[in-house]
Structure 1
Amino acid sequence: MNKFLTILLAFIFSSTLLTSCKTEEKKDTPKEETKEVVKTEPTAPYSLKNADNSINFTAYKTTAKVPVNGTFKKIEITKGGEGNSVKEAMNGAEFNIPISSLETKDNGRNLKIRKFFFSVMENTVSLTGKLNIETDSTGIADFTMNGVTEKLPFKYSIDGKTFTMSSTMDIEKWNAKSAIESLNKVCKDLHTGEDGVSKTWSEVAINASSTFK
């Protein structure tokens, strides 16, 4: 009996010793810590991507040249747009304007312009361009519409952190005469003035601004 107790106690002691060794070994094993690395891209003091950008247009109907105002609610800066000053940030900036963001505060008119004007053109899911500053008050935009790129002169001014530009474009320079005729046809009655003539002008006024933060 004594021999049996001696063997049993020896077994229990050995098991306890082994268990404690394993526990200590587990505690001594350091855990690898994984740290998430957040990459931050440096930005210049003036960035168009962080600015409040707007682009408005005024088209005209009837021979009396009645204005029709609209805006594009979305402007994407695709290249450039950064600098140490407002002028530097604007110069060379490339942009993309989705046609789907067109807004004239009239859903029916929005649909007609998208379907019977822009959809008649080629490659007009969006309008694209590049701004080139030439002097302290003038510049030229390489503007692409209907698969055609033409130079669009503009005037601009800078007031503090706000850049404002204005231009007038003749849509026919972008080979869009058929698009104008298409829109005028579907809007014939709405574009008919007191003289009984239905007219949609090819002239469109552009006004845009960027306020840097």
Structure 2
Amino acid sequence: MNKFSTILFALIFSSLLTSCKSEAKKETSKEETETTSTEKAAPYSLKNAETTIGFTAYKTTDKVPVNGTFEKIEITNGGDGNSVKEAINGVEFNIPISGLETKDNGRNLKIRKFFFGVMENTVSLTGKLSIDSDSTGVADFTMNNMTQKLPFKYSIEGKTFNMNTTMDIAKWNAQSAIDSLNIVCKDLHQGEDGVSKTWSEVAINASSTFK
């Protein structure tokens, strides 16, 4: 084999070797992409679910209900699973106070400013849900710079998760916030007995329907 043939053979062999390496890298990259895609695609994801959060507060000594909702919720950690229960268990969330809605702009402003606004670090409500049994769980709920455990009951119907609980806001050291709101709403929270009252008890219900 002459010198020219030797050089030509070396070039061809080098080209084939490089091509094989390139194809191997492409296959590896494709496998990695497919694996990552499979890991992310959980059958149930709270980020894609339709979630509603409602609450009922109470005023006057007759305990007249005042209903509202939080129209925004952010899933900050977890929320994925192979079942509804698995997706809920361990999920962490953030609920901005700016999303509070009671269908009364004046009331919305008062609650944001004179209730949540006098608390510490309460631009949003945060928490983590943990499932204890087939019907009960507990939320590590943070408000007014304090985290307390909030037990709840739940049910699962098909792809829909429903939960409800009642919280005593005073347990989050928020009595001053209740008093603050009652002052600005004194006349509106006054019953036939002439007493103005804002209850520390608030009922909460939430529902998530997975797609």
* Distance (whole Å) between structure 2 residues aligned to residue 56 and residue 144 of structure 1: 17
- Which of 108, 132, 136 is the matching residue for 2:134? 136
The alignment status of 1:171 with 2:154, answered yes or no, reads no
RMSD: 1.2
In structure 1, the partner of 2:149 is 151
Aligned length: 176
In structure 2, the partner of 1:96 is 94
* Distance (whole Å) between structure 1 residues aligned to residue 210 and residue 156 of structure 2: 11
* Distance (whole Å) between structure 2 residues aligned to residue 73 and residue 141 of structure 1: 19
Amino acid at match of 1:131: L
* Distance (whole Å) between structure 2 residues aligned to residue 53 and residue 96 of structure 1: 13
The structure whose Rg is larger is: 1
Amino acid at match of 1:68: V
C-alpha deviations, 1:168-195, integer Å up to 9, x for none?
0000000000000000000000000000
In structure 2, the partner of 1:210 is 208
Amino acid at match of 1:153: P
In structure 2, the partner of 1:33 is none
TM-score norm. by structure 2 comes to: 0.82
The alignment status of 1:116 with 2:114, answered yes or no, reads yes
In structure 2, the partner of 1:12 is none
In structure 1, the partner of 2:185 is 187
TM-score norm. by structure 1 comes to: 0.81
C-alpha deviations, 1:30-58, integer Å up to 9, x for none?
xxxxxxx9x78522000000000110000
- Which of 197, 200, 205 is the matching residue for 1:199? 197
In structure 1, the partner of 2:73 is 75
In structure 1, the partner of 2:26 is none
C-alpha deviations, 1:131-163, integer Å up to 9, x for none?
000000000000000000000000000000000
* Distance (whole Å) between structure 2 residues aligned to residue 202 and residue 134 of structure 1: 26
Q: Does the residue aligned with 1:117 lie in a helix, a strand or coil?
A: helix
Q: Which runs of 5+ in 2 are unaligned?
A: 1-29
C-alpha deviations, 1:87-127, integer Å up to 9, x for none?
00000000000000000000000000000000000000100
